[in-house]
Each structure stands twice: as C-alpha cells, then as structure tokens.
C-alpha cells in the first residue's frame, strides 16, 4: 500500500491542525478560538483547514473523534484491570470521572462538543464511550448480575452521572477531596442496577 509522499504530508498536516485545535479549544473554548491563530500555531493557514476539514465544526468533529477514542481506550484499560465484570463496570465509571478532570476533556467533550454538535450519541465516531458502556452493561445483564433493563438507557444515565460529577469536581475548590465524595456517590447509584446487593 504505497502511501505516497502526498498522502503522508496530508496526514501530517491534519495531525498538526488537530494538535493545535485541541490546545486552542481546550484553553479558549470553541467559540473564542480563532482559526487564524490556531492555524498559525500549527505553521499553516486557514486554507489548509478548510481544505482538510471543511469548516470550523469539521475540525471540532475530528478533535472529538480523537479524544473520544482515547477515552474509550482508557475506560477499557480500567475495566480490564478489575477482577469481576461488575467491578470492571464500576472502574470504567470511575475512570470517566477521573478523565473528565482534565480541562481539555471538560471543555471540549462536555461543554463545547454537545453545544456545537448536538447530542453526543450522534457524533461522528458514534461516541465510543457510550458504546463501550452500553456493551458492558449488556454483558452484565446477560450474566444476571444486573437487573433486566434497557442497556443503552442505563449507559446513558451512568455516563451522564459520571460526567456531571466530573464537572462538579473540577469546578470545586478542593478537587481531590470532592472527587472521593463523587466516586462514593457514584458507587451507590450504580449499585441500584444490581439484581441483589453485594
């Protein structure tokens, strides 16, 4: 598969733009981020941007795709570290809360993303986060650990709770202390899905 030099440079250009965009969007927010400054930061101009991504929203979509994949991977890793499927589910949720402490994820994935692109479930990458959580819950239902419930519904609520918790933690004065409370509350809530209390 001879990926000629042209295609190679193209990918490099896209990568540079996405890198600069992640930085700018995270620091200034989507609305306040200037395309001129952003592309200059990447050593390019707006021409490259509109050629590769169509428009400003297209760039945001690309950025979100990338971060979403990273988050899903992080969640998967957390789940794999656990001993039981249920523990894995909990760890996955905790991982989301902790990941969402990073300003970049907060600003881009939780605040600007939904506002600009609408409902996360209909995002380009189909939102890997939601899909993995849904699959996890579905497995737990089939395993008879979790009550028979609509897996997607549960995933939505659990994710929403986790991400909202993260927003709260990050905005607080003492994030570390508040994080503990958030995780505890999350465990309690999640336990409501159990068939019988452990």
| Residue 146 CB, nearest approach to a second copy (Å) | 9
186, 93 Cβ separation under 8 angstroms:
yes
167, 110 Cβ separation under 8 angstroms:
yes
Q: Considering CB distances under 5 to 8 angstroms, the limit depending on partner class, which of DNA, a second copy, none binds residue 124?
A: none
Is position 71 an interface residue for a second copy (rule: CB under 8 A)?
no
User: In the complex with a second copy, which residue's Cβ is closer, 31 or 77?
Assistant: 31
Q: Considering CB distances under 5 to 8 angstroms, the limit depending on partner class, which of DNA, a second copy, none binds residue 111?
A: a second copy
Q: Residue 107 corresponds to which tokens in the numbers above? A: 């600003």
**One residue of 37, 55, 73, 184 binding a second copy per CB under 8 A:** 184
Is position 189 an interface residue for a second copy (rule: CB under 8 A)?
yes
End-to-end CA distance of the chain: 53
| Residue 110 CB, nearest approach to a second copy (Å) | 8
| Residue 189 CB, nearest approach to a second copy (Å) | 5
Is position 160 an interface residue for a second copy (rule: CB under 8 A)?
yes
- Give residue 87's Cα distance to chain centre: 21
Q: For the stretch 110-148, what's the b/e string if a residue is b when 16 or more beta carbons lie within 10 angstroms of its beta carbon?
A: bebbeebbeebeebebebbbbbbbbebbbebbeeebbee
Per-position x/- string for 3-42, each x denoting binding to DNA as judged by CB under 7 A, each - no binding: -xxxx-xx--x-------------------xxxxx-x---
* Crossing angle for the helix pair 151-171 and 128-142, to the nearest 10 degrees: 130
**One residue of 23, 28, 167, 175 binding a second copy per CB under 8 A:** 167
């Amino acid at each position: 598969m001879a990926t000629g030099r042209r295609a190679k440079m193209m990918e490099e250009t896209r990568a540079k733009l996405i890198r600069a965009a992640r930085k700018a969007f995270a620091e200034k927010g989507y609305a306040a981020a200037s395309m001129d400054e952003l592309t200059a930061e990447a050593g390019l101009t707006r021409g490259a941007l509109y050629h590769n991504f169509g428009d400003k929203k297209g760039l945001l979509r690309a950025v979100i795709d990338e971060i979403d994949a990273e988050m899903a991977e992080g969640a998967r890793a957390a789940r794999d570290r656990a001993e039981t499927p249920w523990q894995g589910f909990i760890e996955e949720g905790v991982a989301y809360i902790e990941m969402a402490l990073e300003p970049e994820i907060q600003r881009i994935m939780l605040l600007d993303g939904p506002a600009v692109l609408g409902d996360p479930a209909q995002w380009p990458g189909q939102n890997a986060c939601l899909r993995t959580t849904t699959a996890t819950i579905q497995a737990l239902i089939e395993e008879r650990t979790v009550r028979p419930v609509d897996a997607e519904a549960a995933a939505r609520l659990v994710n929403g709770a986790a991400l909202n918790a993260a927003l709260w933690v990050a905005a607080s004065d003492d994030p570390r202390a508040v994080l503990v409370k958030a995780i505890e509350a999350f465990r309690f809530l999640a336990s409501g899905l159990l068939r019988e209390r452990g």
